[in-house]
């Protein structure tokens, strides 16, 4: 068999584009994207008129700060069709967020939008060492969630043999990893950690599977988790980032350097702003991440406030890509808690609950007892988690406590409560009671 | 031959058990036997009803998390040593008992033991081979 040097980039002309040329491309695309929403989306036109800006004011990427922001609340107001920029007959797909923190977001895609998104995912797979010779197991959920569809499409584009296991059925996942010799695994980092643990319990080690790389995203994770996963599975673990609003996974991805995620800047322009004032902050400063899509058709996003807090850095990367890098998001700007000196995001807790088969309905209580912070989480019992056998329930509860500890880095006491006993609200759910403030 | 046991998740707070049992009484469901296993935060109420299907639907409509599990109902003599003899049969056959509870039957001189075992068929075989009588669903109604 002839040896072919593995491709380092999926689209080298884009991924290694010189900075100046990239800026020209972004400028040209932004002008077109703004014109596209102005002409086709009354909601955007209203926002722009309120800010006193028209497409004639936008000559290039430097003018982007003249444009109004788009928030999650706008997406809720405009649900479902209010931000649609193409006639429905040109759209071929929707995806949707889980809607656990309010009304769900429904995003629309034309065939071109899907192609662009799959290209982004293909770039991530190639950056993780993937090629047509690889077997790629996609264990993200398939369906409304973007994870499965995005990586599946990217895997096809790269030419990998794709195993669409979707999420769940851990036994079967491990069977395919072993029997079909998957070399790349795509799933959430907490699921990867769980797969690793299950393999360990079965007495399987890194040498029992040919897996070499994992592309893990859709939730916050830590460097400790990365090391654990890499060691138990004997792989390199790469981060991937994305938002349904922008397309899905693949907005940014990690390369061999594993030091931040390259943003696909030819499609998504990133800014960091002060979440309180909206002022654009210089590169290297921590703030809220804002994205503008540059060439989306059906569902363009102009200065969309992600609420993710992170840092952007443009530096020479050993991989040769010129795209700037974003640090792992430190969580959402509006709901971080500090417990025992550790940053705790409700979204992390939610992720663990969903992965372990519980509902995303929970109540966090933080208190201070004897000068020490305590973290208690009420979790609703589900039919899937229930058993007539108390020790089975207790075992599952313990697994949940361990998974939470792995994600948060601190111990949280779990209380199983009756289904639907935690108040649900239409808007942003009340998930945190911080009793420390009352002292 | 098994009977259906209903197991219900019960949060550890005052009135929780009263609420469940009044749902059942409003529906005219009668409990034949029950047991509760509990932790600090919650418990599992297990019971045998005269109408298991009705009991399950009533409670699940009321929003409870529950499961229906086939268990063995063993009829024994109401006298010292009869429970021990039944357990010995199971132990000798290497069958573990996950949990068990007892109740007296309306028939004088007999009691009934509920057994939750990993394999009902295997347990039923060793018990009937040893001449132990199992109660049917109809006998619980």
Are residues B100 and B45 located together in one domain of the fold?
no
- The verdict on a CB contact (< 8 Å) between A389 and B42 is no
The beta strand positions in chain B, using DSSP E, are 3-11, 31-38, 42-49, 66-77, 99-104, 110-116, 133-134
What residue numbers bound the domain in which B57 lies?
3-69
Residue A52 has pLDDT above 70, yes or no: yes
Q: A415–B64: do the CB atoms touch at under 8 Å? A: no
Domain harbouring B53, CATH code? 3.30.2130.10
Q: Are residues B54 and B83 in the same domain?
A: no
- What is the pLDDT at residue A335? 66
pLDDT of A424 higher than 90: no
Q: How far is B75 from chain A (nearest CA, A)?
A: 22
pLDDT in tens, A355-405: 787 877 789 999 888 778 899 999 989 888 899 999 899 988 999 999 998
Q: For residue A343, what pLDDT is reported?
A: 72
- Tell me what the pLDDT averaged over chain A comes to: 89
| Residue whose C-alpha is closest to residue A30's, from A365, A406, A301, A317 | A301
The pLDDT, as a whole number, for residue A427 is 36
* Mean pLDDT across A47-65: 97
- Region A147-160: mean pLDDT is 97
For residue A363, which residues of chain B lie inside 8 Å, CB to CB?
Answer: none
Confidence of residue A32 (pLDDT cuts 50, 70, 90): very high
Whether pLDDT at A426 is above 60: no
Do B75 and B62 share a domain, yes or no?
no
User: Do the chains contact at A386 and B63, CB–CB below 8 Å?
Assistant: no
Task: Identify the residue among B11, B14, B18, B34 best suited for mutation to test binding to A, counting A beta carbons within 10 A and taking the highest.
Answer: B11
* Same domain membership, residue B110 and residue B56: no
- The span from the CA of A340 to the CA of A368, in Å, is 10
Residue A304: which of A292, A318, A320 has the closest Cα? A292
- Which of helix, strand or coil describes residue A56? helix
CA-atom Rg of chain A in angstroms:
22
What letter does residue B98 receive in the DSSP assignment? Answer: S
Please tell me the distance from the alpha carbon of residue A161 to that of residue A125, in angstroms, as a whole number.
12
Which of B16, B41, B69 is the last residue before a domain boundary? Answer: B69
- For residues B62 and B75, membership in a common domain is answered with no
Query: If one looks up domain A337-438 in CATH, what number appears?
Result: 3.30.300.30
Option in B16, B39, B65 nearest A390 (CB): B39
- Report how far Cα A52 is from the mean position of its chain's Cα atoms: 33
The rounded percent of chain A whose pLDDT value lies above 90 is 65
Give per-residue pLDDT as tens, A310-357: 899 999 999 999 999 999 886 655 566 778 877 787 878 887 887 787
Query: What is the pLDDT, as a whole number, of residue A110?
Result: 98
Q: Report residue A186 as tokens.
A: 């795509």
A417 contacts in chain B (CB < 8 Å):
11, 41-42
CB-closest option in A382, A388, A394 to B39: A394
Distances B35 to A118, A309, A399, B7, B11 between C-alpha atoms, Å = 56, 51, 26, 10, 15
Mean pLDDT calculated for residue range A183-199:
87
CB contact under 8 A, B16 and A386: no
At residue A345, the pLDDT reads 79
Report CA Rg, chain B: 16
Contact present, A87 and A292 (Cβ < 8 Å) = no
* pLDDT digits (tens), chain B, 141 positions: 899 999 999 998 889 999 999 999 999 999 999 999 988 889 999 999 999 989 998 998 888 999 999 999 999 998 899 999 999 999 999 999 999 998 888 788 889 999 999 999 999 999 999 999 998 888 877
Q: What is the pLDDT of residue A332?
A: 59
ipTM tops 0.85? no
Contact B103, B111 (CB under 8 A): yes
Q: Residue-wise over A127-158: b if at least 16 C-beta within 10 A, else e?
A: bbbbbeebbbbbbbbbebbbbbbbbbbbbebb
Instruction: In whole angstroms, give the CA distance from residue A382 to residue A412.
Output: 20
B76 and B25 within one domain: no
CATH dotted code for A1-333: 3.40.50.12780
Predicted confidence at residue A428, as pLDDT, reads 40
- What does the alpha-carbon distance between residue A133 and residue A195 come to, in Å, rounded to a whole number? 24
Tell me how far apart the alpha carbons of residues A378 and A384 are, in angstroms, rounded to a whole number: 17
Q: Give the three-class secondary structure for A178.
A: helix
The angle at the Cα of A299, spanning A293 to A304, to the nearest 5 degrees, equals 50
| B135-B138-B141 Cα angle (round to 5) | 105
Q: What residue ranges of chain A are covered by domains with CATH 3.30.300.30?
A: 337-438
**pLDDT score, position A21:** 97
The pTM for the full model equals 0.65
CA distance A392 to A378: 19
CATH of the domain at B77: 3.30.70.260
Q: How many domains does chain B have?
A: 2
Q: Please name the residues between 390 and 429 in chain A that touch chain B, using a CB distance below 8 Å.
A: 390, 393-394, 415-421
- What is the token pair recorded at A257? 């350097």
Q: How many Cα neighbours within 13 Å face the side chain of A156?
A: 10
Distance CA B72, CA B120 (A): 7
Q: Is residue B131 domain-shared with residue B106, that is, in the same domain? A: yes
Residue of A nearest to B4 (CA): A388
Instruction: Tell the residue number behind the tokens 């609003």, with chain if given.
Output: A245
A103 has a pLDDT exceeding 50: yes
Interface check A327 vs B, CB under 8 A: no
Report, as an integer, the average pLDDT of A182-194.
Answer: 88
Residues 6+ apart with CB under 8 A from A305: A69, A70, A71, A72, A273, A275, A288, A290
A208 close to A195: Cβ distance less than 8 angstroms: no
Output the pLDDT for position A425: 43
Percent of chain A with pLDDT over 70: 93
Of B11, B41, B98, the CB nearest to A421: B11
The pLDDT tens digits of the residues spanning A273-305 come to: 998 899 999 999 989 999 999 999 999 999 999
Q: How near does any CA of chain A get to the CA of B103, in Å?
A: 19
**Average pLDDT of the segment spanning A22-35:** 98
pLDDT in tens, B16-40: 999 999 999 999 999 999 999 988 8
Give the residue from B49, B69, B89 where a domain finishes: B69
Rounded to the nearest angstrom, the minimum Cα separation between B89 and chain A is 23
Last residue of a domain, one of B69, B95, B114: B69
A8-31 mean pLDDT: 97
Q: Which of B6, B7, B8, B9 to mutate to test the interface with A (most CBs of A within 10 A)?
A: B9
Q: Cβ B42–A417 below 8 Å, yes or no?
A: yes
Task: Test B67 with A419 for CB contact under 8 angstroms.
Answer: no
User: What are A63's two structure tokens?
Assistant: 């003018």
CB-based contact, B61 to chain A, within 8 Å: no
Contacts 24+ apart (CB under 8 A), A371-374: A372/A340, A373/A339, A373/A340, A373/A436, A374/A413
Instruction: Say what the pLDDT of residue A290 is.
Output: 97
What is the pLDDT, as a whole number, of residue A382?
Answer: 86
* Residue range(s) of every CATH 3.40.50.12780 domain in chain A: 1-333
Place of tokens 């007296």: B104
User: What are the CA-CA distances from residue A360 to residues A75, A176, A255, A424 (Å)?
Assistant: 21, 29, 32, 11
Is B7 in the same domain as B51? yes
Pairwise CB contact (< 8 Å): A420 & B63: yes
């Amino acid at each position: 068999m002839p040896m072919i040097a593995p491709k380092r980039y999926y689209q080298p002309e884009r991924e290694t584009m010189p900075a100046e040329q990239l800026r020209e491309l972004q400028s040209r695309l932004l002008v077109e994207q703004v014109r596209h929403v102005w002409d086709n989306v009354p909601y955007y036109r209203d926002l722009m008129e309120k800010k006193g800006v028209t497409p004639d004011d936008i000559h290039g990427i430097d003018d982007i700060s003249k444009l109004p922001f788009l928030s999650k609340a706008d997406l809720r107001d405009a649900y479902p069709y209010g931000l649609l920029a193409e006639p429905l007959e040109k759209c071929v797909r929707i995806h949707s967020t889980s809607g656990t923190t309010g009304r769900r977001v429904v995003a629309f895609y034309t065939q071109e939008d899907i192609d662009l998104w799959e290209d982004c995912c293909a770039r991530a797979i190639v950056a993780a060492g993937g090629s047509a010779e690889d077997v790629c197991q996609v264990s993200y959920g398939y369906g409304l969630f973007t994870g499965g569809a995005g990586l599946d499409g990217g895997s096809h584009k790269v030419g990998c043999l794709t195993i669409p296991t979707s999420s769940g059925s851990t036994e079967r996942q491990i069977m395919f990893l072993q029997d079909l010799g998957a070399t790349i695994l795509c799933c959430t980092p907490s699921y990867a950690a769980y797969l690793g643990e299950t393999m360990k319990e079965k007495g399987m080690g890194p040498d029992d599977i040919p897996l070499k790389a994992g592309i893990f995203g859709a939730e916050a994770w830590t460097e400790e988790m990365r090391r654990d996963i890499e060691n138990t599975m004997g792989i390199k673990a790469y981060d991937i980032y994305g938002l349904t609003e922008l397309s899905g996974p693949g907005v940014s991805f990690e390369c061999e350097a594993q030091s931040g995620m390259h943003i696909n800047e030819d499609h998504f322009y990133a800014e960091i702003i002060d979440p309180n004032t909206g002022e654009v902050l210089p590169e290297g400063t921590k703030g809220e991440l804002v994205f503008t899509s540059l060439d989306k058709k059906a569902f363009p996003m102009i200065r969309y406030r992600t609420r993710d807090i992170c840092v952007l850095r443009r530096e020479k990367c050993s991989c040769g890509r010129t795209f700037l890098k974003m640090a792992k998001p430190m969580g959402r700007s509006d709901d971080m808690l500090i417990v025992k000196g550790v940053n705790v995001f409700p979204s992390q807790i939610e992720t663990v609950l969903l992965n372990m088969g519980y509902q995303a309905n929970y109540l966090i209580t933080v208190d201070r007892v004897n000068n020490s912070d305590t973290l208690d989480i009420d979790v609703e019992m589900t039919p899937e988690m229930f058993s007539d056998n108390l020790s089975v329930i207790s075992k599952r509860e313990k697994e949940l406590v361990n998974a939470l500890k792995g994600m948060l880095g601190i111990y949280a006491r779990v209380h199983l409560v009756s289904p639907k006993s935690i108040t649900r609200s239409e808007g942003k759910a009340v998930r945190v009671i911080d009793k420390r403030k009352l002292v | 031959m098994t009977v259906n046991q209903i197991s219900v998740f019960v949060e550890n707070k005052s009135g929780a058990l009263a609420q469940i049992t009044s749902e059942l009484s409003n529906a005219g469901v009668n409990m034949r036997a029950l047991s509760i296993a509990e932790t600090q935060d919650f418990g599992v109420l297990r019971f045998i009803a005269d109408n298991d299907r009705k009991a399950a639907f009533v409670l699940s409509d009321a929003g409870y998390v529950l499961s229906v599990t086939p268990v063995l109902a063993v009829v024994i003599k109401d006298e010292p040593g009869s429970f021990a003899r039944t357990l010995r049969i199971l132990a000798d056959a290497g069958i573990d008992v996950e949990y068990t509870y007892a109740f007296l039957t309306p028939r004088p001189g007999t009691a009934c033991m509920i057994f939750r075992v990993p394999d009902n068929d295997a347990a039923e075989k060793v018990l009937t081979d040893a001449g132990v009588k199992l109660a049917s669903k109809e006998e619980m109604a």
